[in-house]
Amino acid sequence: MGGPGSGRLKSQHRVVESCLVLDINQLAVQGCLTPGWVGTGQWTAGDGCELYSLILRAETDRLHLAHPRPDGITAETIPFERRPNYFGSRPYFLCPGNSASPEAGCGRRVLKLYLMHSQFRCRYCHQLVYASPGSGRCQGERA
């Protein structure tokens, strides 16, 4: 019992916390989903250095993104929809990735998209997992 190799298998998946995230709630609060809105988004390190930037343009039901890649600029269109709730409506991204036909997208209704391989997709398409509290990958490690 308890010999080498026993116990839980370690996950080889990348964790959500290590990716840059595009949050539709933050975009809505900042007015970035208003049709005709054009602006930039930036992620910075703690010291203020820019890590990543992109250009955003909003239409009624989609968000156009342009972001850098090592071999040039990538343009992406991400559809979104508004669903009614008790307080009006709430926006959701419709994930554009990883289905049998790439044009169709997986179509999941999500609040966040994650950047990996120069594409914004849901955590299911990128096969991302959440870090467990005991894995040592979280900020609040136990002593």
| Domain-embedded: residue 30 | yes
Residue whose C-alpha is closest to residue 54's, from 73, 39, 41: 41
Please report, for residues 8, 39, 68, the alpha-carbon distance to residue 71 in angstroms, rounded to integers and kept in the order given: 40, 23, 8
| Domain-embedded: residue 75 | yes
Model pTM score: 0.77
What pLDDT is stored for residue 41 in this prediction?
Answer: 85
Q: pLDDT band for 39, please (50, 70, 90 cuts).
A: very high
Average pLDDT, the chain: 80
| Domain-embedded: residue 71 | yes
Helices (H), the chain: 24-29
Name residue 58's beta-bridge partners: 63
Residue 21, domain extent: 17-125
| Domain-embedded: residue 21 | yes
Q: Which residue has the higher pLDDT, 4 or 13?
A: 13
Structure confidence by residue, pLDDT tens digits, 87-124: 888 999 999 876 555 455 688 999 999 988 888 999 88
Which amino acid, 9? L
What pLDDT is stored for residue 134 in this prediction?
Answer: 62
The secondary structure of residue 32, as a DSSP letter, is T
| Domain-embedded: residue 62 | yes
Helices (H), 6-108: 24-29
Count of structural domains within the chain? 1
